Structure 1
Amino acid sequence: MSSENLPQSPERPSARKPRVAVVFGGRSSEHGISVVTAGAVLRSIDRTKYDVLPIGITQDGRWALTADEPERMAITDRRTPTVAELADSVSGSVALSFDPSDREVVYAEPGSVPKALGEVDVVFPVLHGPYGEDGTLQGLLDLAGVPYVGSGVLSSAVGQDKEYMKRVFVSFGLPVGPYAVIRPREWEQDPAAARKRIADFAGEHGWPLFVKPARGGSSMGISKVDSFEGLDEAIEEARRHDPKILVESLLTGREIECGVLEFEDGPRASVPAWIPPVSDHSFYDFEAKYIDSASGVVPAPITEAETAEVQRLAVAAFEAAACEGLVRADFFLTDEGEFVINEINTMPGFTPISMYPRMWEESGVPYAELVDRLLQAAMRRSTGLR
C-alpha cells in the first residue's frame, strides 16, 4: 500500500468517532474463513458511528494494511480469499504501540520513515484458530492496552484447546461425551501404545470414531473413522493442523447449537439451531459448512423444555470458561433426550451464512446491531487481567 493511499488519522480527539481495527487472516488453516468473516463485519459496521481500519495478518504472520473493500472478501469459485490478495503491498507492515497510554498504530516500509496512522479505540479480532483465537492475540492486545471484542487470554485458550475445554466443563458439572487424547510426544515416541489405547477406547465405546485436531476449528482436519485400519491416516490428517489429537466416540442424536451474547446485565442465550444431516457428506465438515453452504434450521424443532435446557447449558458453559462478549455452544441432543456439550467457540464464524448471527437474527438482534453490541461491550471493559 503506497504512502499516499494510507488511511488518515481521524480528526482531533474531542470530535472523532471511536476507531475500530478489524484484524483478520492469520497463520492458522482457517485464514480464508477469517477473511470472509471480516468482510461481513466490515460491511456491517456503522460508518456514521465508527471509523474503521482493516488490518490483515498474512499467512506468514506479517501485519498489513488492506483496502476497505469487503466485496472482495467472499468465497469465489469454491475458494476463500487471502490477506495477500487484498493488500496493495505486503512490503510494509503495521504495528501497535506497546505503551498502554498510547494506542497509536504505525505503518512502516523498508527504508522509509514510519508513519503514524492515529489511535485505535477497540479491536475486533475476527481470527479463527491458533495465533488469533487461542489467547495469543488477546495477550498482545492486553500488553498494548487496547480493548477488544471477545474473551480474554485464559478463556480464549480454554476455548481453543478441546481437551482442556472438556476438563473445565466436567469440573463445573456439564455433560461431555467420551473422548481420548493423543499428545505429540506419545505419538512420536510410542505410536504402538497410542494405537492400542485408541483400540481399547473403541472397544469400550464402539466405532466409528471422530479424530480431530485438539486445537483446530471450522471442522478442518477431522476424519470419521469406521475401523482400526483408517486410524493412522486420520491421525496424520489431524496432525497436519495440530500435533495434539482428540478422539471422540459417536453420539447418536441431533446436533444443536446455541449462541451466547453479553448484554449490559450479563450473558443471554439465543434461540437454538438444529444442524440436520448433510447429504453427500459423512458429517458436518468444512466443505458442508462453507463451500456447499449447508444450512441449519433456526429455530431448532425441539420442545420448549429442551430449548430452555440448552439455553441454560450454553450460558453455563460461557460462565464456566469465564468467557466475554460472545460464544457459540455446540451440543448433541441424544436419542435418550439428554444434552451433551461438544464444544464452545469464543470467536464463532461470522460469515453471512454462519449459524451464530443467524440465531441472533431470529432472536431479534440483526447482524449490524450484533456487531455494534459486541463493540460497545468491548469498550465498556478495561484491559488487562480478566
Structure 2
Amino acid sequence: MRVAVLAGGRSSEHDVSLSSAAAVRGGIAAAGHEVVPVTIERDGDWIHEGQTLSLKPGGGLLGADVVFPVLHGPFGEDGTLQGLLELLDVPYVGAGVLASSLCMDKVVFKDVLAGVVPQVPYAGLREPRWRAEPEAVLEELAALGLPVFVKPARLGSSVGIAKVRTADELGPALDGAFAHDSLVIVEGFSPGLEVECSVLGFGASPEASVPGEIVLTSGADWYDYEAKYTDGGMELVVPARLPEPVLEEVRRLAVETFVRVGCAGLARVDFFVEDGERVLVNELNTMPGFTKTSVYPKLWEASGLPFPQLCDRLIALAVERFEAERSVAF
C-alpha cells in the first residue's frame, strides 16, 4: 500500500516525533509498502518534497491508501489531527477523535476510569482557581501527601513535569506546569514498580504484549525526559520481574482500559505495581514513541512480533477500522 507518514507537528514533542517517524518509515518500507513522507512544521505547514500541501475535505492525502500520523502531543495526538483526517476521508493508524482527545487529557482519562480500574490518588486543577485561591488549593492538595508529581494535563514525553518532595516546592511546580497547559494534574506518589504494556487491535478483542519493567540507569529518581530519550537512560526488563498472575493482571487491565476508552490500533498502558501484587493504571498513550529507545515496539518484539510486521499490522488495522466505520449510515 501507499502509506503517508506524518512527522513533526506543532507541539513541544516535535523532535521526538521526527525520530519516531524515521523509524516507522523504515519499518513500513521493510514490510513492502511505499512510503510517502510528510513533515508538519512547527508553524503548522504540511510539507512534501519541499512543497507546501493544500488539503481538501474528502480529497484524501497524496493518494495514500492509509496515513500513519506519528505525532505526539497537542495538534497531533489530541483528536484535532484525527478530526482532520476524518474530513479528508482517509484511513489512519491509531485512535479516533474521541479516544485521542479523552486519553490526551490526563484528568478526564482518570475521571472516566474512576471506580472502574485502580489508580493512584490525583487532583485536577485549572489555572484561574490557582491564581484566585492559592492557599485553599495548597491545603486541598496536601491531602495527597508527599511526594507528588505535578504534570501538564495534556502533554506527553514528561514535558513540564516536576516531582515535588516538600511543601515549599509545590507552588513553583504548579507555576511551571501552567506554563505548558491551563489544566494541571497532581498525582500521589506510588512506590511501586513502573510497568508498561503494549496493546494492539481493533474492536472487542485487542491483544496485549508481554509487560516490561522500567529500570532507571541514568541516576534519575523518576522516569523523566532524559531517561526516556537518552541512550542508556533506562533499561527495559522483559518480562517484568513479577509473578505470572500479576503479569496476567497487567495484561488484562491494559486491554480493559484500551477497550473502555474506545482506542483503536495501538496504545501503551503504563502501570505501577505495588508490593509485587497491587496493579494501578497510571495512563494510556494513544501514539507511543517509536524511537530506538521506545518501549512500545520493544515489547512487541519481545512478544514475537518484529518491527516491520508490527507496522504492517497497524496499517491493516487502520484500513479495517475505516471500512467498518464507513459501512454504517450516518
TM-score bucket (shorter structure): over 0.9
Query: Secondary structure at the residue paired with 2:128?
Result: helix
Secondary structure of 1:381's aligned partner: helix
The residue type paired with residue 40 of structure 1 is A
**Residues 264 and 377, structure 1, Cα contact 8 Å, conserved in 2:** no
CA deviations 1:26-64 (Å, max 9, x no partner) are 111111100000010011113673222111111121111
C-alpha deviations, 1:186-243, integer Å up to 9, x for none?
A: 12333333223223x2xxx321111011111111111111111111221122122212
Q: Report what 1:166 is aligned to.
A: 110
| TM-score computed with the length of structure 1 as normaliser | 0.80
Alignment-derived partner of residue 185 in structure 1: 128
**Matched residue of 1:295: which SS?**
strand
The gaps in structure 2 that reach 5 residues or longer are: none
Aligned residue for 1:231? 170
Cα gap change, 1:342 to 1:48, in 2 (>3 Å): closer
1:247 — aligned with what? 186
TM-score with structure 2 setting the length: 0.93
Kept in 2: contact 1:298–1:358 (CA 8 A): no
Matches of residues 322-341 of structure 1 in structure 2 within 5 Å?
322-335=262-275, 337-341=277-281
**Pair 1:353-2:293 in alignment:** yes
Match of 1:141 among 85, 104, 111: 85
Partner of 2:299, secondary structure, is helix
Give the equivalent residue in structure 2 for 1:111: none
Give deviations 1:255-294, integer Å, cap 9, x for gaps.
Answer: 1111111169830100000012444212010001102442
Moved more, 120-129 or 375-384: 375-384
Structure-2 change in CA distance of 1:247 and 1:104 (3 Å): closer
- Quote the residue 1:94 is aligned against: 53
Is the 2:20–2:289 Cα contact (8 Å) retained in structure 1? yes
Secondary structure at 1:235 match in 2 = helix
Separation (CA, whole Å) in 1 of partners of 2:176 and 2:128: 17
Distance in 2, Cα, partners of 1:156 & 1:285: 23
> How is 1:8-157 mapped onto 2 (pairs within 5 angstroms)?
18-46=1-29, 49-65=32-48, 92-99=51-58, 102-105=59-62, 119-157=63-101
Match of 1:309 in 2: 249
Q: CA deviation at 1:336?
A: 6.4
Is this contact kept in 2: 1:259–1:356, CA < 8 A? Answer: yes
Instruction: Indicate whether 1:382 and 2:329 are aligned.
Output: no
Count of matched residue positions in the alignment of Structure 1 and Structure 2:
325
If you compute each CA radius of gyration, which structure gives the higher value, 1 or 2?
1
* Structure-2 residue corresponding to 1:4: none
Decide whether aligned partners of structure 1 residues 104 and 131 sit closer, same or farther in structure 2, where only a CA change above 3 A counts: closer
| Coordinate RMSD, CA, aligned | 1.9
Structure possessing the higher relative contact order (Cα contacts under 8 Å, 6 or more residues apart) = 2
Q: Distance in 1 between matches of 2:272 and 2:110?
A: 14
1:185, CA displacement in angstroms?
2.1
* Residue aligned with 2:206, SS: strand
- Aligned partner of 2:220 in structure 1 is 281
CA distance in 2, matches of 1:342, 1:26: 26
- From the superposition, tell whether residues 48 and 336 of structure 1 become closer, same or farther in structure 2 (CA, over 3 Å): closer
Q: Give identity over the alignment, percent.
A: 47
Contact 1:151 1:325 in 2 (8 A): yes
CA contact (8 A) 2:216 2:227 kept: no
Cα deviation 1:100-157 (Å, max 9, x = unaligned): xx3253xxxxxxxxxxxxx121110010011110100000111111110000000001
Cα distance in structure 2, aligned partners of 1:272 and 1:304? 11
Gaps of 5+ in 1: 1-17, 67-88, 106-118
Amino acid at match of 1:134: D
> Residues of 2 paired with 1:361 and 1:104: CA distance?
30
Counterpart CA distance in 2 for 1:230 and 1:60 is: 34
**1:175 deviation in Å?**
0.7
Query: Would the aligned equivalents of 1:23 and 1:123 in 2 still touch at CA under 8 Å?
Result: yes
Cα distance in structure 1, aligned partners of 2:23 and 2:316:
18
Structure 1's 264 and 376: CA in aligned 2 closer, same or farther, altered over 3 A? farther
Q: Is the 8 A contact 1:29 1:241 kept in 2?
A: no
The Cα shift of 1:170 comes to 1.7
